[in-house]
Amino acid sequence: MTCESGSRHVHVAAAQLGPIAKDETRESVVQRLIALLRQGAAAGSELVVFPELALTTFFPRWFTEDVSGHDHYYEASMPSPATQPLFDEAKALGVGFALGYAELTEPDADGVVHRYNTTVLVERDGTIVGKFRKVHIPGHEADEPWRPFQHLERRYFEESTEGFGVWRCFDGIVGMATCNDRRWPETYREMGLQGVEMVLIGYNTPIHYAPDPGQNALQGFHNHLCMQAGAYQNGTWVVGVAKGGTEEGVESLAQSCIIAPSGQIVAQAVTTGDEIITAVADLDWCNHYKETLFNFATYRRPELYQRITSQKGVIAPPENS
C-alpha cells in the first residue's frame, strides 16, 4: 500500500508454527494456518509468511530405506485438495501468503519424479506469483544412526537448479529463501543484485547440531546474525519464520523475526508455538542503503570476486617451504 507520505508500505506478518506431530493430518494443520492467516488479516497484514515444510512434521529426521518412504508427506500439486481451503480463505480475505511444503513433481521425460523443499508465493488476489526451491540442502544422505535424530534433507530433497529469483508483487520486489539458505551470504546478494526489497525465509532448525554440539547454545544468535547481516548488506527487509518448539522429541528454534534494511529486528516472536508477529514494512527504507553505502553499481568490484562463483571449496595457499 502507498501511504500519504507516498512511500510504499507492506503490512507483513510472520506466522510462526509450533510443532506438527508426525500423524497430524493436513486438514488439522491447514486449520492452524487459516487461524494464523485470519489473525494476520485482523492485524492489517497483506502478506502472511509461513515456515518451511509448514504442512507436516519435519520428516527428514527419520531414515527410510526407500527414498519414497516419506512420499505421503509431499504435495503432488499446489494447491492440493488439503491446502485449497487455505487458498480460498486467503483470497476471500484479500491476503497474500508464502507457504513452505515438500514438492513431489510429475514424472519427467525419463519417468523420474523429483523431490524439492519448496515455497509458493501467492498474491492478495489468489494468483500464484512464483515458486522457490531450496538451493542449499544441509545434513546428510546416508543413514547415520549415531545421531540422536537425523537430518536427512540430502536424501529427501534435490538441490534447486533454478537459483534465487525475485518477483514484483505486494508493491515491491520480493524474494524467497529457505532455512539453510539464510546462512549463506550468496543467497542475499543474488537477490540483492536483482533489487530485492523483502526476502521471505521459513526455517526448521533443531537446537542440537550433532556434528558440533558447541553450536547448540548459539543457534538463536546465529539465526538472527545471518538474517540481520543479509538484510543490512543488501538493503532489504527479511522475514524469518520458524516451525519451533519440541516436535517429535526434537527441540527446534523459534525466535521468528522481521528485520529492517538497517539490520534492526523490528518484531520477534516470544513463544515457541503458533504465533503471529507483524510489522509495517516501509519498502522505500531500502533505498537508504541501496542508494548509499551499498550502491552496488558504484562500489562493488566483481572483477575481483571471481573465486566466489568459479570455486566451490577452499584452495589454501601452498605450505611455506
Q: Which of 16, 83, 150, 180 binds ligand ING (CB under 6 A)?
A: 180
Q: Could you confirm whether 179 is annotated as catalytic?
A: yes
CB of 205 to ligand ING, least distance (A): 4
Q: How far is the CB of 95 from ligand ING (least distance, A)?
A: 26
Catalytic pick among 153, 169, 179, 290 = 179
Q: What is the DSSP string of 103-162?
A: EEPPP-TTS---EEEEEEEE-TTS-EEEEEE-S---S-SS--TTSSS--THHHH-PPPSS
| Choice among 46, 52, 89, 275 that is catalytic | 52
Q: Return the number of the residue (203 or 294) whose C-beta is nearest ligand ING.
A: 203
Min. distance of Cβ 52 from ligand ING in angstroms? 6
Q: Which is nearer to ligand ING, 174 or 179 (CB)?
A: 179
Nearer to ligand ING, 206 or 230 (CB): 206
Contact 37, 70 (CB under 8 A): no
Q: Which of residues 115-144 bind ligand ING (CB under 6 A)?
A: 138
- Shortest reach from residue 140's CB to ligand ING, in Å: 11
Residue 294 DSSP class: T
Q: Closest CB to ligand ING among 98 and 169?
A: 98
HEC profile for 55-115?
CCCCHHHCCCCCHHHHHHHCECCCCCCCCHHHHHHHHHHCCEEEEEEEEECCCCCCCCCCE
d(CA 200, CA 185): 15
Q: Is 36 exposed, middle or buried, given 0-12, 13-18 or 19+ CB atoms closer than 10 A?
A: buried
- Give whichever of 150 and 204 is closer to ligand ING, judged by the CB atom: 204
Active site residue 226: no
Continuous segment of H or E residues that includes residue 3: none
| Cα atoms in the Cβ-side hemisphere of radius 13 Å centred on 269 | 26
The reply to whether 209 sits near ligand ING by the rule CB under 6 A is yes
When binding is defined by CB under 6 A, the residue of 205, 234, 272, 278 that contacts ligand ING is 205
Angle subtended by helix axes 185-192 and 219-234, to nearest 10: 20
Residues belonging to the chain: 321
User: How far apart are alpha carbons 254 and 274 in whole angstroms?
Assistant: 10
Q: Hey, is 287 helix, strand or coil? A: helix
Minimum CB separation of residue 80 from ligand ING in Å reads 22
**Total site size for ligand ING, rule CB under 6 A:** 9
Contact criterion met (CB below 8 Å) for 235 and 192: yes
From the candidates 46, 75, 89, 134, which is the catalytic residue? 134
Q: Which of 18, 192, 206, 235 binds ligand ING (CB under 6 A)?
A: 206
52 flagged as catalytic: yes
| 183 part of the interface to ligand ING, by CB under 6 A | yes
Nearer to ligand ING by C-beta: 26 or 183?
Answer: 183
Residue from 15, 37, 179, 242 binding ligand ING (CB under 6 A): 179
Active site residue ranges:
52, 134, 179
Q: Where on the chain is the footprint of ligand ING (CB under 6 A)?
A: 138, 179-180, 183, 203-206, 209
